[in-house]
Chain A
């Protein structure tokens, strides 16, 4: 059938921000000067309608004559030196297509069969073919999901007939064949493959593809947490499994506010007024490494569904984003084969988080960004979500025999097949080719309307149980929901995006924006009606049976029949060995700074210290009207705060605080101390706003290299650190996640281990948000006090050592015995109003904290370093758990901080100069404007601000 094409572009007198932005990136990032201008156009294609109908759509829908013009079946960008059209690959669902179909129907065009949209770029100037190839491959096209359109397609419809279910002759396979079929798709080890073989040998039959895939998915590291559940032998001595250690610590803490820990899609704690808050933090590293935009989107979408699938369903009220990349200015030649450039990854991940969170209306208001050369092979992408839920709905529901299994939301396609198993494998130079199906483009609006519908269904008490379809798709969702009762699913009833999906593909598909429900039969009609009223597709696909079996059928044929007992408990428990290695002991200290001004500016411009405001500004951090402490505030709106404070119930003054901490550089040097640092930093960020440490809980995320003996040893150390932290502070972990695939293996076998990351997130309740404080100095004339116990001589892993080329295995140690009293003192000072502003000391040290506080208050300060200290270490040491507090007076400080380590440093003023004194003399003075400029510059360059 004929395809009609409409092209739309801006009128010549109107600017083209898309083209201008691309031009800026080409000139700055690719350093290609030959392109003089770029014009962009949208291309729309329609199947099933006439050219006249296409013109009608152009006039009434696609183009607005005030600032645009259009053509039908004609080119639109003329006289360009090069013209490139970029579209999604067939089968990658373009979220815009369904909106075009809807609007066309609303305009009375009824015979439209399919629609698509893409973007055309016209390049002006003497650009060469070689330069175009670089522009296309580096900026325009991600071959995982996109392609250059070279000719008009013959059809927009995807056709196909499903492949038949295959029988896998596993009983006849020897070990080599077992491992050959495992590699690249199942990612199971030989013992596990043999266990499957033995199970089916005993049953006297061979499994279907669907059965093998279901087992591989359920037993994947991603879903089965095999390492965290394994029996450990550490340096020859047996130790408790990692997960048990964390869970036992939480149980012993017996925190009175915790309503659910480690058993649901997120952890839940009590708020006030019969409400609870819940939190979950996820990683999405592997998909984001190959398609950062789609990967980040689906990362956000997945963690939002974790909140939506907590208890009987929570409303998502906040999102956090924490990323680790290689340096954005890394030469392209140093990026490993099969990996994308860190700058491209950074820009596209930010765009993905922005487009998903903003469209769904979830404020993204807490985050951070970390850079280290060893992230060049794989980024770490952490996304968190927090929710609000009535206490009465906060417990996980249990499906009962006879309940109907319902799928809600988006349709099932061939998206993300093998996502769970893929996440569990190492990244290699082949990853980009082999796993191209593992990523899709998220559809935030689908998820938003599903959330609207599910919240109404929850409030009408129609939901017995709900969970999200994440890794492993239906197999994981229904496999887990039906683990106790058994479930029977008819795959042919599930709505699909296009024909041709094999049964196992429907079952394992990780298409986003889907949730699974258990609904009592008497509530089914009402549930379906609510979903319809929100334009949400909902379909009954089976029932919970009480047989203890997982039964999956396609057109009445069984395609998967497994005992739940084997599926969930048949995985052989691993015994894993961990061995400590000899670490680098090299120590090299820098000389004192020759030029204090340049040194201070360099520290503030360090990638791990510099301002990330340009990123926070592209996230809607104010939607839902709940923000009480923004990510950046102060007089100019450019000074960072330590945590976000929200009042999520309109008109109510109670609320919550959200913060986090991590330090990959420290974790790499000393996994134990680095992990203590991460947890301390998280709670210090929350405490710096005035939160009561007794009302805080934690979430862990371990993003670790593949657990060989050395890395497992480091992981064991990190888990011990978490347990020790819980025991010292009483703050429990109530949710967590491990992702143990941060290892890259190149074609020649060389291995890059990504720095191990423990990210600790922290959230808690606040009885009165108006008793919280911000970090900007309120002075002048107030007293500046350093509170907390610092470990000044230990500078390993600091930004200062990184800049000076120094190194040390000695990283700052947090004194866990001193910490609780310090946190309590800060809390009380905020409650009483004695603390006017507070900032925790972290990357970049005391000087950075002071400068950031001055930025917010248009202030200056004069402080004195005690004698006997190296001034540079005093200013740049990164011991966390320490605070720079602005207090009304020295007397008030003495009263408030009696009994905790503290030091009066000096006073705030309005000079906009920072003056440092030592030994009765002025050491140096620097104006805050210079520091501000150095601090803003690095991310400003990346994001063109």
Chain B
């Protein structure tokens, strides 16, 4: 049976269609679910095997990016989210979805309602849309199984993507191997703080993190924008055996099909 993915939408979600298409291509069945449907009880998170919070500008990213949706989720859907995660079901937050996961507290420490990191305005002071090189770290992250130590290319498109946290939290997530993606210099294949290779000035060049189970992933770059070879800006120069976004979604779908 195809696992069922909840593509969570609300006012200002705008990467929902391509996230839907990405999971569908990876073999899942997808449903668009508005947060109002979860609040009203018309839909239940427990009916789904995977939760995806897509990119966009939820509620205009007013106050802070993803903040208003985070407040809504922690105020009304705390129990549903907690039981979803405790059931070992994968969660992915991309761009605005990552901002939401961090501001609910689900990332990096997995404590709903306790914020331990943040995504600040880019050091450049402006929105940035460009393709970046990402070093995949060795972690227990479900989504990047088999991709460890590879350099992937995804597009970033955000104004608030600088990962920032306290020294203690930073040390903790590094020690726990929760950093999944880092912005890298393609010449050295090393993490970089140099703009624009690192487009936002993230601490330790962090582009994506997971929780300690490896099942909840948040990242600023957009894997769902690289699902066909011709999505890459230089596909005419470089051949791709497989578009870099596909394995990320396939890992989650295969896991859910097998284990949930």
Contact = CB atoms under 8 A, between A and B. Distances in A.
Most chain B C-beta atoms within 10 Å of own C-beta, residue among A354, A625, A943: A625
A773 B236 contact: yes
A162 B67 CA distance: 37
Given A361-B56, A535-B36, A622-B222, A770 B230 contact: yes
Given A66-B165, A622-B129, A100 B64 contact: no
B contacts with A: majority SS:
mixed
Interface string A934-945: 000000000111
Interface in B18-77: 18, 21-22, 24-25, 34, 36-37, 55-57, 59-64, 67-68, 71-72, 75-76
Contacts of A620: 127, 129, 157
A547 interface: no
B17 A617 contact: no
Given A61-B67, A106-B72, A651-B228, A634 B60 contact: no
Most chain A C-beta atoms within 10 Å of own C-beta, residue among B9, B37, B225: B225
B164 interface: yes
Contact of B60 (A15, A21, A444, A616): A444
A821 B17 CA distance: 40
Interface string B210-234: 0000000000001011011011011
B166 to A, nearest CB: 6
B115 A66 contact: yes
A535 B11 contact: yes
A262 B88 CA distance: 56
Given A95-B62, A776-B237, A625 B120 contact: no
A647 B18 CA distance: 12
B64 A64 contact: yes
B144 interface: no
Contacts of A618: 126-129
Interface string A313-344: 00000000000000000000000000000000
B118 to A, nearest CB: 5
Given A106-B72, A633-B234, A634-B234, A534 B227 contact: no
A488 interface: no
A695 B69 CA distance: 44
B81 interface: no
A624 B59 contact: no
B121 interface: yes
A769 interface: yes
B17 A650 contact: yes
B246 to A, nearest CB: 12
A533 B37 contact: yes
Contacts of A794: none
A445 B18 contact: no
A20 B125 contact: yes
A622 B159 CA distance: 14
Contacts of B236: 773-774, 778
Contact of A62 (B63, B155, B225): B63
Contacts of B166: 66
Contacts of A20: 125
A203 B25 CA distance: 67
Contacts of A66: 115-118, 164-166
Contacts of A622: 129, 155, 157, 222, 225
A107 interface: yes
B123 A623 contact: no
Interface in A30-79: 60-62, 64-67
A918 interface: no
A102 B58 CA distance: 13
A contacts with B: majority SS:
loop
Contact of B15 (A354, A361, A535, A945): A361
A837 to B, nearest CB: 8
Interface string B111-150: 0000111101111111111110000000000000000000
Given A651-B21, A778-B236, A617 B225 contact: no
A494 to B, nearest CB: 22
Interface in A329-370: 354, 358-361
Most chain B C-beta atoms within 10 Å of own C-beta, residue among A15, A66, A535: A66
Most chain B C-beta atoms within 10 Å of own C-beta, residue among A103, A359, A618: A103
B224 A448 contact: no
A619 interface: yes
Contacts of A278: none
A17 B124 contact: yes
Given A618-B127, A624-B18, A359 B57 contact: yes
B129 A650 contact: no
A873 to B, nearest CB: 33
A635 B234 contact: yes
A169 interface: no
Nearest to B196: A617
Contacts of A21: 125-126
A427 B54 CA distance: 44
Given A620-B157, A651-B25, A103 B55 contact: no
B239 interface: no
Interface in A765-807: 769-770, 773-774, 776, 778
A523 interface: no
Contacts of A945: 124
B177 interface: no
Interface string B230-251: 1101101100000000000000
Contacts of B25: 650-651
A96 B68 CA distance: 11
B67 A103 contact: yes
Contacts of B159: 358
A627 interface: yes
A5 B231 CA distance: 48
Contact of B228 (A14, A616, A647): A647
Nearest to B34: A533
B56 A96 contact: no
A790 B115 CA distance: 64
A860 interface: no
B159 to A, nearest CB: 8
Given A449-B11, A535-B11, A625 B59 contact: no
A630 interface: yes
Contacts of B122: 17
B204 interface: no
Contacts of A14: 120, 164
A444 B72 CA distance: 20
B14 interface: yes
A776 B237 CA distance: 9
B153 to A, nearest CB: 11
A621 interface: yes
A628 interface: yes
A60 B120 contact: no
B233 A637 contact: yes
A925 interface: no
A102 B68 contact: yes
Interface string A750-777: 0000000000000000000110011010
Given A66-B164, A444-B57, A535-B36, 11 more contacts: A103-B59, A359-B57, A444-B60, A445-B12, A534-B34, A618-B129, A620-B129, A622-B222, A623-B225, A627-B231, A637-B233
11 contacts: A17-B123, A18-B121, A61-B67, A65-B115, A99-B62, A354-B127, A445-B12, A452-B9, A627-B225, A637-B130, A637-B233
The 10 closest A-B pairs by CB, nearest first: A361-B14, A625-B18, A650-B21, A99-B62, A17-B125, A21-B125, A359-B57, A620-B157, A445-B12, A445-B60
Interface of B: 9, 11-12, 14-15, 17-18, 21-22, 24-25, 34, 36-37, 55-57, 59-64, 67-68, 71-72, 75-76, 103, 115-118, 120-131, 155, 157, 159, 164-166, 222, 224-225, 227-228, 230-231, 233-234, 236-237
Interface of A: 14-15, 17-18, 20-21, 60-62, 64-67, 95-96, 99-100, 102-103, 106-108, 354, 358-361, 443-445, 448-449, 452, 533-535, 616-628, 630, 633-635, 637, 647, 650-651, 653, 769-770, 773-774, 776, 778, 943-945
